[in-house]
A and B are shown apart, each in its own frame.
Chain A
Amino acid sequence: MNPYFAVATLLLVTSMLFLLPLLPALLELRRKSDALPLGLIQHHAGEIRYFADSFRAYVKTLEPTLRECGASGRNASGVMPDGTNYLVLGNGSTALTLPLQLQDGTCPVLIASASDLSLPKDSSFSKDIYSLGRFVGGDNNHYRALLAEQEAYLGGGSSVMRWVHAGGELSADSGCKLAARVSSDSRIRLAPGCSFQRLNAPRIELGLQDGENASHSISSISELPPSKPQRIVHDGDFEIRCGAAFCGDLVVRGKLRIGSGARVYGSVKSQKDIVLESGVSVQGSLISAGKLVIGPACVIHGPVIAEHEMYIQTGTQCGGARTPTTVSALGIQVAEGVVVFGSLWAREHGEVVANA
């Protein structure tokens, strides 16, 4: 063999072997098939009503039909620009008598009602529902998503898959499964036995009956703190005694217990579990890197965060009408009689439990 040829072949083969693993890289560099910046939605602000607002914009094309049907009391059906079948009801109560479901019990059309909408029980709705007025759903219904411009009521044992929003009060009867974004512009009321993930409303009442208010036996914390706030960091477990007033921010590297009736004029953080006994009030935030147990009739003004589980007992109030807040944990168990102003967010599972 010609030695030059041999050397050239050797060089060629070596180069090929070297370049072979780089071939996909070279192709990607040239083609730029995945070269866009990571997709950030610049206008996204985590707004819970995002889907409801988008759906409202989506059904805007039905506005003339809704007006017409509302005036005439008749129904109309058709196809949305994206191919979705819709049914517009002039009188929402007719939905109780219409044959909306297929044989498998599922209603496959988008329902939009020009007036108050009532839906029969034991039904599944695989498309979104819109009501220009109030909404009343029967027991054991399954919804994909629901928007009511006024009050909404979900019958016992119902479930919502994606989101539900009501312009007025939104109430869910016992056993509802709300693994979705649930929001209202005025108030949310969940009966005991309901499960939830993300709730947002100016006022969220858990397990309260009509006309009943959360009772708070403790005094308001809006009075001025006794001295200038400071930050105290404590290594190890810590306890604020019953009835004591603690002024300043407190960071505890161990477990924290706050005794009955104690008042904290500041924010509280613990690296481990926190237990609040009855009637405790916290002016700032309450944050636990572990588990958080909030006793009965406590008042917490700032955000309430637990990195693991959270248990909130009856009569507790989080946030205020003018100072809404967020209550968030991996799992949340709330006793009936708790009121939250703002957001209640169970990342994995939240449930309302009846008082023993």
Chain B
Amino acid sequence: MWAHAMIYVLYLIVAIICVYTVRHYGFTLNRLFGFQRHPYIDIDTADWPPVTVLVAAHNEEKVIGNILAALMEANYPKDRMLVVPVNDRSTDGTRQIIDAFAERHPGRIRPFHRTEGKGGKAAALKDAMELVETEVILIFDADYIPGAGLVKQLTAPFFDPEVGGVMGRVVPVNVSTNLLTRLLDLERAGGYQVDQQARMNLRLVPQHGGTVAGVRRSALREIGGWNDNTLTEDTDLTYRLLLCGWKTIYQNRSECYEEVPETWQVRVKQIMRWAKGHNQAMMTYAWPLLAGKHRATLRERLDGALLLGVYIMGPITLLGWILALAVFYRGVAQFNGVLALLAITAYAAIGNLAAFFEIAAAVRLDGNRRRINLLPFLILGFTVSIFSVSRAAFSQVVDLVRGAELRWDKTERFRKAAS
């Protein structure tokens, strides 16, 4: 009986994996051959609305100067753009750097120094809203370096009254550092160049990333503001906007450099935080999204649910591996003869390669060439991710049982401080 139960669970897991495989292929083929939607990128002339740019910073003395300098060079009407560095309880030189910039650019930078209160980006942004008076809000993390045209590009979609959130593309700047940064460069390419843009093309659910991003103030107010009880305020925002009838749109050509983790330890910590936050959003929004009464279309409901499940797929895959071994050693016949052979061969030839195919397509679309050779090493990255997100899911369950609070960890920076 146990053997049969195991095999049915295994079948279910395989079926779920197959759904994600088809999704990967669907997205990749859409990016390669489908109609590409960039409806707002052509808006280069307009009566630009006033904009507030929030720069989230917690102990960012190494990088805060770069982003403030870059924003001061933005090709946006100076009298309509206010930069608010949100200095969240920094204990390093962040405050001094921000204040020096504010002094050099009077009226263009209004610092928000936060010395106490709840930790985490969402809590800091929530408090900083008292300085925001504009309908359009852009958000950057402090380690990003926006180009001159980015503020206009991220603002343009808000001319569409249906748009509540905007997300741009994140491009790693420290690619060449080591194997990890090179793998993250490939993963980011797949995630943005293919995944996000395909969701945009197919009118699904592009994900708000919380940086290189924008949000409409009235939409934010309607959904209840920033949620500081989550580890990933961006995922949370995506779903609350969706449930309230607002669209999040993705602009692949609104690119911005970021710094990716350079050590595995930092990477594991980062992905574990993402996994916990994402799983938290899954628990909160999966059912309301699928079955609730709201304006999301059927395709948005399905894609949104699949997107919510991406991090729980780690432990599910691990469980699948364990079950497959158990079933094998119990000697239970899963399929018979030719069918088994065909199924295994087909999955090995197509299914396993879906994520690789997606990333290879992204690299191709980016016009890169030889970095595609690193594709086999992604197995290493995926393995680390699977175990990390599984660990995150497990510890999340333990925390839930113990009643422990979620803790927000800042991702460590590696850039040398700007002189």
Chain A residues close to B by CB (< 8 Å): 21-22, 24-25, 27-29, 32-38, 40-48, 200, 231, 233, 235, 249-251, 253, 266-269, 284-285, 287, 289, 301-303, 305, 307, 319, 323-326, 328, 342-343, 345, 347
**With A21-B376, A40-B257, A45-B75 given, is the CB distance from A305 to B39 under 8 Å?**
yes
Structural contact, B162 and A325, CB atoms closer than 8 A? no
Structural contact, B171 and A38, CB atoms closer than 8 A? yes
Query: Is the CB of B377 closer than 8 A to any CB of chain A?
Result: yes
- Identify the 3 closest CB pairs spanning chains A and B, nearest first: A45-B149, A249-B161, A342-B45
Structural contact, B159 and A34, CB atoms closer than 8 A? no
Query: Is the CB of B130 closer than 8 A to any CB of chain A?
Result: no
Q: How far is the CA of A38 from the CA of B371 in the complex (A)?
A: 11
What is the CB-to-nearest-CB distance from A132 to chain B, in angstroms, rounded to a whole number?
27
Structural contact, A266 and B43, CB atoms closer than 8 A? no
Structural contact, B171 and A37, CB atoms closer than 8 A? yes
For chain B, residues 156 to 187, give those with C-beta under 8 angstroms from any C-beta of chain A.
Answer: 156, 159-162, 171-176, 179, 182, 185
**With A27-B373, A29-B179 given, is the CB distance from A233 to B46 under 8 Å?**
no
Q: Which of A38, A44, A268 has the most CB of B within 10 A?
A: A38
Kindly list chain B residues whose C-beta atoms are within 8 Å of the C-beta of A33.
370
Structural contact, A251 and B147, CB atoms closer than 8 A? no
Structural contact, B182 and A36, CB atoms closer than 8 A? no
Structural contact, A303 and B161, CB atoms closer than 8 A? no
Q: How far is the CA of A231 from the CA of B37 in the complex (A)?
A: 24
**With A38-B171, A251-B161 given, is the CB distance from A24 to B45 under 8 Å?**
no
What is the CB-to-nearest-CB distance from B374 to chain A, in angstroms, rounded to a whole number?
5
Structural contact, A326 and B47, CB atoms closer than 8 A? no
Residues 170-208 of B, flagged 1 when their CB comes within 8 A of A and 0 if not, give 011111100100100100010000000000000000000
Structural contact, B40 and A305, CB atoms closer than 8 A? yes
Kindly list chain A residues whose C-beta atoms are within 8 Å of the C-beta of B46.
302-303, 324-326, 342
Structural contact, A251 and B162, CB atoms closer than 8 A? yes
Structural contact, B159 and A285, CB atoms closer than 8 A? yes
Q: Apart from A42-B70, A46-B149, list 4 A-B contacts with CB within 8 A.
A: A40-B257, A42-B148, A43-B148, A233-B295
Chain A residue at minimum C-beta to C-beta distance from B153: A46
| Contact partner, B377, options A25, A268, A301, A342, Cβ 8 Å | A25
Kindly list chain B residues whose C-beta atoms are within 8 Å of the C-beta of A34.
368-371
Kindly list chain A residues whose C-beta atoms are within 8 Å of the C-beta of B145.
42
**With A35-B182, A40-B255, A303-B159 given, is the CB distance from A45 to B45 under 8 Å?**
no
| Contact partner, B368, options A29, A38, A249, A253, Cβ 8 Å | A38
Query: Is the CB of B225 closer than 8 A to any CB of chain A?
Result: no
Query: Is the CB of B91 closer than 8 A to any CB of chain A?
Result: no
Kindly list chain A residues whose C-beta atoms are within 8 Å of the C-beta of B171.
37-38, 40
| Contact partner, A38, options B42, B218, B255, B295, Cβ 8 Å | B255
What is the CB-to-nearest-CB distance from B233 to chain A, in angstroms, rounded to a whole number?
23
Task: List 8 A–B pairs whose Cβ atoms lie within 8 Å, in order of A's numbering.
Answer: A48-B44, A233-B295, A235-B295, A285-B159, A301-B47, A319-B45, A325-B46, A326-B45
For chain B, residues 264 to 278, give those with C-beta under 8 angstroms from any C-beta of chain A.
Answer: none
Kindly list chain B residues whose C-beta atoms are within 8 Å of the C-beta of A231.
161, 218
Kindly list chain B residues whose C-beta atoms are within 8 Å of the C-beta of A45.
75, 147-149, 152
Query: Is the CB of B375 closer than 8 A to any CB of chain A?
Result: yes
Kindly list chain A residues whose C-beta atoms are within 8 Å of the C-beta of B189.
38
Kindly list chain B residues whose C-beta atoms are within 8 Å of the C-beta of A41.
147
Query: Is the CB of B315 closer than 8 A to any CB of chain A?
Result: no
Looking at chain A's contact residues, the main secondary structure is loop
| Contact partner, A36, options B70, B152, B175, Cβ 8 Å | B175
Chain B residue at minimum C-beta to C-beta distance from A230: B218
**With A36-B175, A40-B257 given, is the CB distance from A287 to B375 under 8 Å?**
no
For chain B, residues 124 to 172, give those with C-beta under 8 angstroms from any C-beta of chain A.
Answer: 145, 147-149, 152-153, 156, 159-162, 171-172
Structural contact, A35 and B161, CB atoms closer than 8 A? no
Query: Is the CB of B116 closer than 8 A to any CB of chain A?
Result: no
Q: Which of B145, B182, B366 has the most CB of A within 10 A?
A: B182
Q: How far is the CA of A34 from the CA of B366 in the complex (A)?
A: 12
Kindly list chain B residues whose C-beta atoms are within 8 Å of the C-beta of A266.
161
Kindly list chain A residues whose C-beta atoms are within 8 Å of the C-beta of B375.
25
Q: How far is the CA of A235 from the CA of B296 in the complex (A)?
A: 11
Q: How far is the CA of A45 from the CA of B254 in the complex (A)?
A: 10
Q: How far is the CA of A47 from the CA of B371 in the complex (A)?
A: 31
Structural contact, B75 and A303, CB atoms closer than 8 A? no
Q: How far is the CA of A25 from the CA of B159 in the complex (A)?
A: 45
Kindly list chain B residues whose C-beta atoms are within 8 Å of the C-beta of A347.
42
What is the CB-to-nearest-CB distance from A204 to chain B, in angstroms, rounded to a whole number?
11
Query: Is the CB of B245 closer than 8 A to any CB of chain A?
Result: yes
Structural contact, B45 and A43, CB atoms closer than 8 A? no
Q: How far is the CA of A41 from the CA of B40 in the complex (A)?
A: 20
Kindly list chain A residues whose C-beta atoms are within 8 Å of the C-beta of B149.
44-46
Structural contact, B47 and A323, CB atoms closer than 8 A? yes
Structural contact, B39 and A307, CB atoms closer than 8 A? yes
For chain B, residues 243 to 259, give those with C-beta under 8 angstroms from any C-beta of chain A.
Answer: 245, 255-257
Q: Which of B75, B218, B371 has the most CB of A within 10 A?
A: B371
| Contact partner, B45, options A28, A40, A200, A267, Cβ 8 Å | A200
Q: How far is the CA of A284 from the CA of B161 in the complex (A)?
A: 9
Q: How far is the CA of A273 from the CA of B185 in the complex (A)?
A: 39
Q: How far is the CA of A37 from the CA of B374 in the complex (A)?
A: 15
What is the CB-to-nearest-CB distance from A200 to chain B, in angstroms, rounded to a whole number?
7
**With A29-B377, A37-B175, A45-B148 given, is the CB distance from A200 to B160 under 8 Å?**
no
Chain B residue at minimum C-beta to C-beta distance from A251: B162
Q: Which of A32, A36, A45, A266 has the most CB of B within 10 A?
A: A45
Chain B residue at minimum C-beta to C-beta distance from A340: B45
Q: How far is the CA of A33 from the CA of B366 in the complex (A)?
A: 16
| Contact partner, B160, options A46, A269, A326, Cβ 8 Å | A269
Chain A residue at minimum C-beta to C-beta distance from B176: A35
What is the CB-to-nearest-CB distance from A344 to chain B, in angstroms, rounded to a whole number?
10
Q: How far is the CA of A142 from the CA of B287 in the complex (A)?
A: 62
Chain A residue at minimum C-beta to C-beta distance from B178: A29
Kindly list chain A residues whose C-beta atoms are within 8 Å of the C-beta of B185.
37
Structural contact, B161 and A267, CB atoms closer than 8 A? yes
